[in-house]
Amino acid sequence: MAPEDVSIGDWLHQGTSDPREVADRYDRWARSYDDDLTAWSYQAPRVVAEAVVSRNPAAESVLDVGCGTGLVGRALREQGFSGHLQGLDISQASLELARQGGAYDALDVADLQQRLALDDGSVDAVVCVGVMTYLPEVEKVWQEFARVARPGGLVVVTQRDDLWESRACQDVVDRLQAGGVWTPLEVAGPAPYLPVGYGGTPEVGCYYLTALVS
């Protein structure tokens, strides 16, 4: 079934990992994305921004992986973050809207299933909000986040609660801790995420993971 043949709620719930399909869907959704997420009482950008600012108030750089139209970047600025903010996303249309929003210092197109074009230990915090649905290789992705964060930096991510279980995310958290990659500071969930679902679907919850990079 082609993306245009399913509702946005059904498509989001299916959670495709095909980067071309994700880019196409978000390019076409970009103009109404912010309004839709507001109508769905989207919780995560504010929660993650608060986690970054409260746990690392001295952070001078944040990488927003899957920044979309810039909801997390704007939330970070509203929470008082004044450092360098870089966003990556696969959707050109979403990045253009993020650019217009003015929160980011740099915005780049990226396939988030590939190695990130950043040096090791180059940012103080990595955030990834509402994106892990499309990134099924959880351990590989989280190791990559830890690679680009400096030692003592933060990784803060969300994962939909059903995928947290089916993709054995707690096992990944534990393996990365045992391997000396990071120390988990908090795993909170199931927690509010989309209280009214995807615009008519049942309520969607998530897990919030905050980890200190070793």
Instruction: Report domain extents, the chain.
Output: 3-213
Question: What pLDDT, on a 0 to 100 scale, did the predictor assign at position 13?
Answer: 60
Which is the CATH superfamily of the domain at 3-213? Answer: Vaccinia Virus protein VP39 (3.40.50.150)
What pLDDT does residue 110 have? 97
Tokens of residue 127, six digits: 């955030």
SS3 79: coil
Q: What pLDDT sits at residue 18?
A: 80
**Judging by beta carbons within 10 Å of its beta carbon (0-12, 13-18, 19+), is residue 126 exposed, middle or buried?**
buried
DSSP class of residue 201? S
Residue type present at position 88: L
Please give the average pLDDT of every successive group of 10 residues along the chain, which has 214 residues: 49 70 90 94 96 97 98 98 98 98 98 97 98 96 98 98 97 98 97 86 93 98
User: Rounded to 5 degrees, what angle do the CA atoms 127, 129, 133 make?
Assistant: 125
Q: Phi/psi of residue 71, each to 5°?
A: -60, -45
- pLDDT on residue 20: 87
| CA nearest to 11, candidates 71, 65, 68, 28 | 28
Considering Cα of 3, then 6, then 11, then 14, what sign does the dihedral take?
A: negative
Q: Give the dihedral of Cα atoms 23, 142, 163, 75; nearest 10 deg.
A: -70
Is the separation of the CB atoms in 189 and 207 below 8 Å?
yes
Q: Which residue has the tokens 């707690």?
A: 170
Percent of the chain topping pLDDT 90 = 84
Cis peptide before 190 (omega within 30 of 0): yes
Structure tokens at 119: 């040096």
Question: If we measure between CA atoms, which residue out of 64, 82, 65 comes closest to residue 73?
Answer: 64
